[in-house]
Amino acid sequence: MYTPIQPLFSLFRRLIVASGFISLLILLSGCSLDTRMSTFVTKGPVAETQYNLFMITIWVTFFIFLAVGGTYLYVVLKFRERPGDDRPLPTQSHGNPLVELGLIGVSILLLVIIAVPTVQGIWYTHDTPNTEAAKLGNWYNGTALSEGEEDDVLTIRVIGYQWWWEFEYPQLGVTTANEMVIPAGKPIHIELRSVDVIHSFWLPRIAGKVDLIPGRANSMWIQAGDDFDQWNAKLEKQNIDLAEMDLQQDYQDYLEDEIHNYYYGQCAEYCGDSHARMLFRAHVVGDDEFSDWIDSQKQGHNAPDGKSWEDWYAAYDADPDLLTGDINEGLKLFIGRGQCSGCHAIDGNPRTIAGVAGPSLTNVGERHSIAAGWLNHRNEDGSIDDDLQYANFVKWIKETDEVKPGNLMWWTRLGNGLGQMKEPLNDDEIHKLSVFLQTLK
């Protein structure tokens, strides 16, 4: 039975739908595709390939949505029941061979449209390119390259822990943690390992996700920016007159202006209490800067006060009280009561070589974050905020359980692991230890 109140209900429903649609538009207008971890701003051929595949899938599914949704709306609007409507039911097509075979054929065609570029993308991202320009012997200018590695591309072994990252450069004899440094425009082979649970390596602007699985060796390759041939081919597609360009210089300008940067990554597979705080960073730099960084890592650190390590430890063993000042006191805590050297290695310091349970602290004072990227002290211009860095060191040492619940250092301090302290470090000791850590650069 039709009543006068029905138009009011209909108007009310339309207002709700319109309000919801307007609210959705307002929310979407606040979204940005150019964020630190956006997959829509690609900075390398792997990310670009994956983005293109994603957009193909989006357009195909959008077409399906329009076709199915449009048909549904057409049927609902055309055949909806109206007051006093005595029309018979429309003709039913269920079981019609032509309709059903047509739907199957269209579905297969759409799957093929998605499948072909998907298979091509899998092939492309599976094998690391090994071009002449990518071989270490043709671009690496440092002194640490292992013999026989000149014809291979750079390899980085990524090892996942709860909840931090280790980055090994096996060809160069260097290990760092949580912040990796890579050269721009060079394909890099990534070996993925895990020592505990499943993690997932994700550097969104440069490459997609690949899992690190205990007992299984996974791999992938990444590349920040195009190599020279890829960049040159893109210019040719744009019908740019290459004869009037200084190609080598323009290519270097492209890398410096568009690719050299500080990129954000994280674990993308739930791995325990502090999964959300298992972040990492990637510095993309030029060839010479990368070589200098490797040499700096290999050299390690000198002893405080300009002493050699032999002299410093001779003085320490004879009478530690003669070594004064916050830096010396911090180092004494690091290798003594603080028990830091039992887990953390510092290259160059002969009594911290055994530290393997925690991240390497070589050049930790140069890193823009600590606690696997959770505590940041990087300024917008790329410099380090020294005051904030000091505060972050203090916070991490003093409140490690609050910064990253469940981490190994916290459990060790509770006595559930090796090296239980009889008394926690006091504020003055934490200050001295933090000052010492800031000098590791």
Per-residue pLDDT of 106-121, as tens digits, reads: 888 888 899 999 999 9
Confidence at residue 417, expressed as pLDDT on a 0 to 100 scale: 42
Please write the tens of the pLDDT for every residue from 405-420: 888 777 665 544 444 5
CA atoms of 359 and 345, how far apart (whole Å) = 7
CATH of 136-293, one of 2.40.37.10, 2.60.40.420, 3.20.20.70, 3.30.565.10: 2.60.40.420
Please write the tens of the pLDDT for every residue from 373-405: 999 999 988 899 999 999 999 999 988 888 988
Confidence at residue 418, expressed as pLDDT on a 0 to 100 scale: 41
Confidence at residue 97, expressed as pLDDT on a 0 to 100 scale: 81
The reported pTM is: 0.84
Cβ-contact 273, 243 below 8 angstroms: no
Please determine whether the domains at 33-80+92-126 and 136-293 fall in the same fold group of CATH: no
Mean pLDDT of 367-371: 94
Q: Name which residue leads in pLDDT, 16 or 304.
A: 304
Write the class of the CATH domain 300-438.
Answer: mainly alpha
Confidence at residue 7, expressed as pLDDT on a 0 to 100 scale: 62
Residue 2 has pLDDT above 60, yes or no: no
Which of 106, 268, 110, 274 has the alpha carbon at shortest distance from 200? 268
Residue 53 has pLDDT above 80, yes or no: yes
Which of 166, 168, 159, 171 has the alpha carbon at shortest distance from 135? 171
Cβ-contact 278, 264 below 8 angstroms: no
Write the class of the CATH domain 33-80+92-126.
Answer: mainly alpha
Question: How is the chain split into domains, by residue range?
Answer: 33-80+92-126, 136-293, 300-438
